[in-house]
A and B are shown apart, each in its own frame.
Chain A
Amino acid sequence: MTRYFTKDHEWIDVDGDAATVGITDYAQGQLGDVVFVEVPDAGRQLSQGGDAAVVESVKAASDVYAPVSGTVTEGNAALSDTPDLVNTSPEADGWFFKLTLSNPSELDGLMDEGAYKEFVAGL
Chain B
Amino acid sequence: MSEANDLPPQTLPLDGWHRARGARMVPFAGYQMPIQYEGIMAEHLWTRENAGLFDVSHMGQLLISGPDVDVELEELLPADVKGLGIDKMRYSLLLNEQGGILDDLMLTRQADGFYMVVNGATKYDDIGHMREHLPDEITLNHLEESALLALQGPKAGEVLARIQPEVARLYFMEAGAFDLDGVPAWVSRSGYTGEDGFEISIAAEHGERIASLLCDQPEVKPIGLGARDSLRLEAGLPLYGHDLDEETTPITADLGFALSKRRREEGGFPGADRILLEREQGPVLKRVGLIVEGRQPVREGAAVVDADGNEVGKVTSGGFSPSLERPIAMAYVPAGSAVPGTRVRLNQRAKIFEAEVTAMPFVPHRYHRKGAAK
Contacts and interface: CB of A to CB of B under 8 A. Distances in A.
Interface of A: 32-33, 35-36, 38, 54, 56-61, 80, 83
Contact of B296 (A36, A58, A59, A60): A36
Contact of B320 (A36, A54, A80): A36
A83 B39 contact: no
Contacts of A36: 295-297, 320
A57 B153 CA distance: 24
B108 interface: no
Please tell me the size bucket of the interface on B.
10 to 19
Nearest to B325: A35
B155 interface: no
A32 B295 contact: no
Contacts of B327: 35
Interface in B290-336: 295-297, 299, 319-320, 322, 327
B226 to A, nearest CB: 6
16 contacts: A32-B36, A32-B40, A33-B39, A33-B40, A33-B42, A33-B322, A35-B295, A36-B296, A36-B320, A56-B297, A58-B40, A58-B226, A58-B319, A58-B322, A60-B299, A80-B295
Nearest to A81: B295
A83 B295 contact: yes
A12 to B, nearest CB: 25
Interface of B: 35-36, 39-42, 44, 226, 230, 295-297, 299, 319-320, 322, 327
A68 B322 CA distance: 35
Nearest to A63: B349
Contacts of B42: 33
A33 B36 CA distance: 11
Given A32-B39, A32-B40, A36-B320, A59 B295 contact: no
Dominant secondary structure at the B interface? mixed
B68 to A, nearest CB: 46
A61 B299 contact: yes
A56 B39 contact: no
B41 A58 contact: yes
A33 B299 contact: no
**List of 3 A-B pairs having minimum Cβ-Cβ separation, nearest first:** A33-B41, A35-B320, A58-B40
A87 B35 CA distance: 18
B44, B299, B320 interface centre (most CB from chain A within 10 Å)? B320
B40 A56 contact: no
Contact of B297 (A32, A35, A80): A35
Contact of A38 (B35, B39, B44, B296): B296
Nearest to A38: B296
B71 to A, nearest CB: 45
A56 B296 contact: yes
A54 B40 CA distance: 20
Contacts of B297: 35-36, 56, 61
Nearest to B230: A58
Contacts of A54: 296
A60 B225 CA distance: 13
Given A33-B41, A35-B297, A83-B295, A56 B36 contact: no
* Highest count of chain B CB atoms <10 Å: which of A56, A57, A59, A61: A59
Contacts of A33: 39-42, 322
Counting chain B CB atoms within 10 Å of each CB, the highest count among A35, A60, A61 belongs to A35
